[in-house]
Every structure is written in structure tokens, then in C-alpha cells.
Amino acid sequence: MGKKDDKKRLGRGLEAIFGDDISNLLEEIQEGGDGKRQIEVNVDEIRPNPFQPRKEFDEKSLKELSDSIKEHGIFTALIVRKSVTGYEIIAGERRWRAAKMANLSTVPCVVYEFDDSQMMEISILENIQREDLNPIEEANAYKNLMDRLGYTQEKLAKRVGKTREYCANMLRLLNLPKSVQDLVVNKELTMSHARPLLSLNNDDMIYDVALKIIDEKMSVRQVEKLMKDLDPNKALKKKKIKVIDPNLKYVEDLFRDKLQTKVSVDNKQIIIKYSDVDDLNRILDLLGVIE
């Protein structure tokens, strides 16, 4: 297939991708269905996709893929584009990482001439359609499409095959403080639990409430109710936050490290928590009061 035919084929493919299924197109390219010849490329000549929206790669999953590659090799070629030095990955970064882990020297590749805009769209759409992104990665991917390519929310929704409301809700997650976004990335907090927190306008309060949600294993309904209780009109009725004397806090920490349990020092008293009789005996032993 000549360059002119390649360009025509690629143009039709990209037009079909948006709002459709990009995975089928990529699989067709990777399996040689477009007439492109696979080549072997040195793994050290390949760089990750600069527009890759996925930042987290599960190490356990990569190790399993690496073991499979060691035994069976790579069946599906990577899609790459030529860069100034070497190649950049368009699709197949997990396979490339696993191949490096398996100490392969080369990997099969299909070379295509995508521009930056096409490369970004393909990378983002492929990950979204395969549901490989966590909510924060997905939200950042949407923001990149809007910032770099000038998409409106309407155009974004059409491109990714989602409703405008869905895209707007995802983008709003980026208004959460970074500390809470990290809780979502680490799967300690779901998107449904995090979204109601946006009604709060204080980053410290948002983080404190997020920790409370996790600690108390609250349901989404309970979180929504909590948000109503934290209404500014009701906030004045709530107890003031207790200010802890730093010297007493230091003593608390000493006790906690020594006894490995919750200890509070306040109002001229020391309160030591224990879970059962065995735990009580353990603490008494550490305090040296058991003969």
C-alpha cells in the first residue's frame, strides 16, 4: 500500500473512530489487516506516548504479562510513529513495559504517521473505551482534549461517546484538592463518594471529610446526608475544632509509639484504649505493672 493509500486509509479510520469503537481499528492495524508490514524494533529505541493519559500501571498485572511474554512472546504488535530519535508508542505501552521487564531486546511494531492531535485522540479514546483509566486520569484526559485541541464540552462528549453531563461531572473532579484526588486514584474513595465533596469550598475541610468517609465506610447516601449537615447555615451550630497543645500532642505520640494503641492526653488525664483482655494485659506488660 503506497503513502497516498495509507493517508486515505488513515483518514477514513480516524473519521470512523470518533463516537465509534477505536479498539477494532487498532486491532486491525496491529494484526496487519491494513497491509502494513511489522518490523522488529529495539526496545531501547522506543519511548512512551507523550499523550498517554494513563499514569498508573498495575505492577502485578505487568508481571503476569511479562511472564506470559517470556513464555509465548508478543502476539500483537505495538503501533508506533517515527520520532526524531527512535519511535514513540501510539498503542501498546503495557506490552512494551512488560517486554522490558522480560528482558526482550526487540518487539514487533507497525509504524504509522500520526500527527500530535491524532495521536492524543487515539491514545485517550483507546484507554477510555477499554476502561483502563481511573476517574482522575479520565478527567485529565478530557481536559487535555479541551485545552490542546479546543474542544467544547459538546464536542468532547461526541468524541468520547458520553453524555455532556457525564463529561462535565468528570471534569469537576479536577476541582478537588490534590490530596483527595490521590484518594480516588488509589481507590480509597470512589467517584460517587468524592463528587458530593465539591459542594464544600474549603480544601482542608474536603480532605477531612474524605478521610471521615473512608474511616467510617460511609455509603453514598450517607455522604450526601453529611453534606446537608455541613451546610453553612448549620455549620455555626457545630462544635469548634479542638486546639491541641503541641506539648501534649508530643506526649500522646510517645505513648502511642510505646503502646501501639490509641492514647489521648487532655484535661489532666491520660486515656489509653484497648480492644480486649489480651490487649489490656499486653499494655500492662509494656508499662511494667504486671508482676
The three state secondary structure string of the chain is: CCHHHHHHHHHHHHHHHCCCCHHHHHHHHHCCCCCCCCEEEEHHHEECCCCCCCCCCCHHHHHHHHHHHHHHCCCCCEEEEECCCCEEEEECHHHHHHHHHCCCCEEEEEECCCCHHHHHHHHHHHHHHCCCCCHHHHHHHHHHHHHHHCCCHHHHHHHHCCCHHHHHHHHHHHHCCHHHHHHHHCCCCCHHHHHHHHHCCCHHHHHHHHHHHHHCCCCHHHHHHHHHHCCHHHHCCCCCCCCCCHHHHHHHHHHHHHHCCCEEEECCEEEECCCCHHHHHHHHHHHCCCC
Is-catalytic flag, 93?
yes
Nearest C-alpha neighbor of 51 from the set 21, 91, 87, 19: 91
Residue located via cell numbers 501534649: 248
Query: What is the spatial distance between Cα 129 and Cα 110, in angstroms, rounded to a whole number?
Result: 21
pLDDT at 96 (0 to 100): 92
Residues of the chain with pLDDT under 70: 1-36, 55, 127, 129-132, 231-244, 291
pLDDT at 92 (0 to 100): 84
Tell me how far CA of residue 230 lies from CA of 79, 91, 233, 239, in angstroms. Answer: 50, 45, 8, 12
Give the cell for residue 35: 497491509
pLDDT at 203 (0 to 100): 87
Nearest C-alpha neighbor of 122 from the set 8, 31, 29: 29
Identity of residue 258: K
Residue tagged active-site, from 45, 59, 88, 93: 93
For the stretch 187-222, what's the b/e string if a residue is b when 16 or more beta carbons lie within 10 angstroms of its beta carbon?
Answer: eebeeebbbbbeebeeeeebbebbeebeeeebeeee
Yes or no: say if 198 and 175 are a contact pair by the CB < 8 Å rule.
Answer: yes
Domain definitions of the chain by residue range: 3-133, 176-235, 246-287
pLDDT at 175 (0 to 100): 94
Identity of residue 1: M
Checking DSSP bridges between strand 269-272 and strand 263-266, what pairing results, if any? antiparallel
pLDDT at 189 (0 to 100): 93
Tell me how far CA of residue 50 lies from CA of 53, 87, 88, in angstroms. Answer: 9, 11, 8
pLDDT digits (tens, 9 = 90+) for 113-137: 888 877 777 777 776 766 667 899 8
Q: Fold for domain 3-133?
A: 3.90.1530
pLDDT at 230 (0 to 100): 75
pLDDT at 23 (0 to 100): 55
pLDDT at 25 (0 to 100): 58
pTM here is 0.57
